[in-house]
Structure 1
């Protein structure tokens, strides 16, 4: 059993769990903003996990781009999800959507034009991993802010777990991508 076996097992298991979580959030789609953002976060995570598992023959398929762009939105959606869940006064505003759209545009620009255009490594870092880390840190801060004053016991306990698992997972992925040989990957 080589690394590709374990990659497939872990990737597939994670995708199943994300799909189940999206289904669970989807039950409250009409009732709560947090549920809608939870579904979007799970779908973005599924897009991020699915693309590397595709055979190389599909690298230039047109239907890859929406999945790729959705995956790029994950850190921004994590931030909004954490804000909506842990801040009782949170209101989704147009500028929130613009911030996530800017993250996706920065990632797409870096991925599709920066890599193929031969941008310097620092420019690529500033347009993709750094914004990811910033949005993730904002999500972790939203989860931890007010934790001691939260009167809902389950939510108070979940704050730390959410901040550590999702936030650290995104930061570890961003860091691993930066340190990986051959980063940045080809634009496709």
Structure 2
């Protein structure tokens, strides 16, 4: 088999797997933002698999430019996907779309006008620096959010997906900056083979995790999940009781520096056991949501208290453990369906 045929086989395998993955995500989890972004990322990656070449050329066919632009814009989708994947409460904003349009349009203009006008290196370096910047944002999001994830079976899979995609994208961006001109058929065949292996590994890893674990169908309220074995039930219940005392009596959720590690140390148990306890016995998927629900319960009581009718909402939010008004308002509305001010007014009207 020639190098050209081998490269085509690798590209075809990657595109096929990515299209099947996108279709599967949309079919099973179309109502979940993370799954929709995952499907969009898979489609953008299919455009990358069909169009990418190591090395650069100033002559890009007109039909090829849209694929390259979509491939470049896909790095924005990747960043948004990592945010939604690790934060069940993440929501898209209008400016996210503007960022995607700007990056995609810049790549398209670079293919058809900037590079052919003799500024090929400038165009390539600018695009790849943008790619590296969004990869850094995605990796940073992964590092910042990983410890708050309470679903053990998905934590490693999520990190693998992000790290594999980020490593591949980062290495290719650096190669594009360093390699001048065409890199040849061997380099492109190797790149296509590596991409096919990464896509296959991600698809295999996702199949090993229950889809409901990876992409929750609902994040509105926690529910009780699995029950422990009978021999562990008594010990777990004692730990749950001790945890609830820390929440109710000491109001430990108010502490700015509270983490799951700190809480595990207070209970004198390993961190992994506390994760499992909060997830499987209390039904929470994210540690920050667990803390915020306790904070919101305190805020609801304060907002409904006639004696605190003149206390500013920001003061109530800060007293409950929130660091600023914006996150408090978003979390409060996600739980109650109304803003804190509306909630206070409703309680006053029904008093």
Structure 2 residue 177 is matched with structure 1 residue 175? no
Tell me the equivalent position of 2:137: 138
Tell me the equivalent position of 2:160: 161
Unaligned runs of 5+ in 1: 184-188
Q: CA RMSD in A?
A: 2.4
Per the normalisation by structure 1, the TM-score is: 0.82
Tell me the equivalent position of 1:74: 74
Tell me the equivalent position of 2:32: 32
Within-5 A mapping of 1:18-167: 18-28=18-28, 30-51=30-51, 59-61=61-63, 64-119=64-119, 121=121, 123-167=122-166
Indicate how the Cα distance of structure 1 residues 139 and 52 shifts in structure 2: closer, same or farther if over 3 A, else same: closer
Contact 2:51/2:68 (<8 A) preserved:
yes
- 1:52 and 1:146 map into 2 onto residues whose CA distance is 31
- 2:15 and 2:120 map into 1 onto residues whose CA distance is 34
- 2:151 and 2:52 map into 1 onto residues whose CA distance is 39
- 2:166 and 2:89 map into 1 onto residues whose CA distance is 22
Tell me the equivalent position of 1:186: none
- 1:74 and 1:36 map into 2 onto residues whose CA distance is 13
Deviations 1:121-166 (A, max 9, x none): 2x32453110011112212222232212310112311232012211
Which moved further from structure 2: 3-12 or 158-167?
3-12
- 1:114 and 1:89 map into 2 onto residues whose CA distance is 40
Contact 1:77/1:100 (<8 A) preserved:
yes
Per the normalisation by structure 2, the TM-score is: 0.46
Deviation at 1:29, TM superposition (A): 5.0
- 1:39 and 1:135 map into 2 onto residues whose CA distance is 18
> How many pairs does the alignment contain?
177
Larger Rg: 2
- 1:142 and 1:52 map into 2 onto residues whose CA distance is 26
- 2:34 and 2:24 map into 1 onto residues whose CA distance is 12
- 1:69 and 1:19 map into 2 onto residues whose CA distance is 18
Unaligned runs of 5+ in 2: 54-59, 183-351
